[in-house]
């Protein structure tokens, strides 16, 4: 999942429905929008169905999808003027916590619910439980700032050693071997990781565990476990550190790799290193498998693709909602908004915002599940 983008600002307005949706770079970076009616010049005709949606809706979570949410909010808010959407970025861990405490109507997370979290959700989903709905895909870019170096190839073992403090200088022999023509300076590596609990961190470390376990001896999770390095809040915080710090390297969703931030090409089992692009992430996500049961659609990603161009360091952001037991006053808005973002038009918004649409075989199941929310 930004993780981490093209953020389309939403109009802050007073209104009946507040949607604090999944994820952002800091807890104060919220966006609100309202809209209403059944049509809009901004959205494709018929692509947004407001139905009876109105009132107030709260959601929070993943920073990876913030820029996607912003784009969706602009379109949806223009069409549904009886609905106010208020996007409050908090991070995946905080979003799940708020949802399980009954504070939000849905959450956004770059990792599916743990079994104990799914069990806990039965307390807030009367007669049902929370389900994972994959909605946003995309590459996790490894951004770097090395003066005089415009292109850089790294493999999983080298990345793991950099973030584990085993490789400390940019002219290290392991980096030289992968980049024989690069003029690597004698410069200290400044590795930055997330300070907050993050689904992006979870996915980044899952990739390292799957591909370089001997160099990454950690169990993984939303909290950073390796010693050393420096930290920053949210995906935008990491991207900013890379922009302003010579020698920096970090990880964040591709949508945050703007304003000249260079990204690493990943060495895979294919003949050519894979670039961090939306299309290349889609190639990798297409080989993901649904491992959830019942209405849950959590995925298992393939971190070792052999297809040429497939970029394996990807994440999928889930919207987490009750399959049954949603509150009557928020259910219409939840279904209306999630129906739009999972629609063909909603998914088309992702590419322009540097995210990868969810493959057809999976998003079709997502739409069916949303239609059945009660």
Could you report the per-residue pLDDT of 85-120, keeping only the tens digit for each?
777 778 888 999 999 999 999 999 999 999 999 999
Handedness of CA 316, 322, 323, 329 (dihedral sign): negative
The pLDDT of residue 173? 98
pLDDT at 255: 86
pTM recorded for the entire structure: 0.78
pLDDT tens, residue by residue, 17-50: 333 333 334 334 454 544 333 333 344 445 799 9
Q: Comparing C-alpha atoms, which of 17, 2, 10 is closest to residue 75?
A: 10
Tell me what pLDDT residue 260 has.
85
Measured between alpha carbons, how far is 142 from 139 in angstroms, rounded to an integer? 9
pLDDT at 18: 32
Q: How far is CA 184 from the centre of its chain?
A: 31
What is the pLDDT, as a whole number, of residue 46? 55
**CB 68, CB 357: distance < 8 Å:** no
Q: Residues near 340 by Cβ (< 8 Å), separated by ≥ 6?
A: 47, 48, 49, 72, 75, 76, 346
The Cα 201–Cα 194 span in angstroms is: 7
Q: What is the reported pLDDT for 45?
A: 43
SS3 of residue 52 by DSSP: coil
Q: Residue-wise over 12-45: b if at least 16 C-beta within 10 A, else e?
A: eeebebbbbbbbbbbeebbbbbbbbeeebeebee
Q: Average pLDDT in the 239-248 region?
A: 97
To the nearest whole number, what is the mean pLDDT of the chain? Answer: 87
The two structure tokens encoding residue 23: 């994820």
What is the mean predicted confidence (pLDDT) over 237-251?
97
Which residues are registered as beta bridge partners of 145? Answer: 248
Give the pLDDT band of residue 15 (cuts 50, 70, 90): very low
344 in helix, strand or coil?
helix
Which stretches of 220-318 are DSSP H helices?
234-244, 278-285
């Amino acid at each position: 999942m930004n993780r981490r983008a093209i953020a389309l600002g939403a109009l802050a307005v007073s209104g009946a429905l507040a949607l604090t949706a999944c994820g952002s770079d800091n807890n104060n970076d919220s966006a609100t929008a309202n809209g209403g009616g059944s049509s809009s010049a901004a959205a494709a005709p018929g692509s947004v169905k407001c139905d009876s949606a109105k009132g107030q809706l709260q959601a929070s979570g993943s920073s990876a999808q913030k820029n996607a949410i912003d784009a969706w909010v602009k379109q949806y808010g223009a069409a549904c003027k009886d609905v106010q959407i208020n996007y409050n970025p908090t991070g995946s861990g905080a979003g799940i916590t708020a949802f399980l405490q009954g504070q939000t109507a849905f959450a956004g997370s770059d990792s599916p619910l743990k079994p104990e979290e799914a069990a806990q959700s039965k307390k807030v989903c009367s007669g049902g439980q929370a389900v994972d709905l994959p909605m946003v895909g995309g590459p996790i870019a490894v951004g770097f700032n090395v003066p005089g170096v415009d292109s850089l190839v790294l493999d999983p073992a080298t990345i793991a050693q950099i973030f584990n403090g085993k490789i400390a200088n940019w002219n290290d022999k392991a980096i030289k071997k992968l980049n024989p023509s690069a003029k690597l300076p004698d410069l200290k590596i400044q590795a930055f990781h997330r300070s907050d609990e993050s689904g992006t961190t979870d996915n980044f470390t899952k990739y390292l565990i799957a591909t370089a376990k001997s160099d990454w001896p950690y169990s993984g999770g939303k909290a950073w476990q390796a010693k050393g390095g420096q930290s920053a809040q949210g995906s935008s915080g990491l991207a900013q550190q890379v922009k302003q710090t010579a020698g920096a390297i970090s990880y964040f969703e591709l949508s945050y790799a703007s304003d000249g931030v260079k990204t690493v090409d990943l060495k895979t089992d294919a003949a050519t290193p894979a670039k961090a692009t939306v299309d290349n992430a889609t190639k990798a996500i297409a080989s993901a498998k649904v491992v959830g049961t019942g209405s849950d659609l959590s995925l298992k990603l393939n971190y070792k693709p052999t297809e040429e161009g497939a970029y394996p360091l990807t994440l999928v952001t889930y919207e987490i909602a009750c399959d049954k037991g949603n509150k009557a006053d928020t259910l219409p808005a939840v279904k209306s908004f999630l129906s739009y973002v999972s629609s063909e038009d909603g998914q088309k918004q992702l590419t322009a915002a540097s995210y990868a649409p969810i493959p057809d075989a999976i998003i079709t199941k997502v739409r069916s599940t949303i239609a059945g929310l009660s």
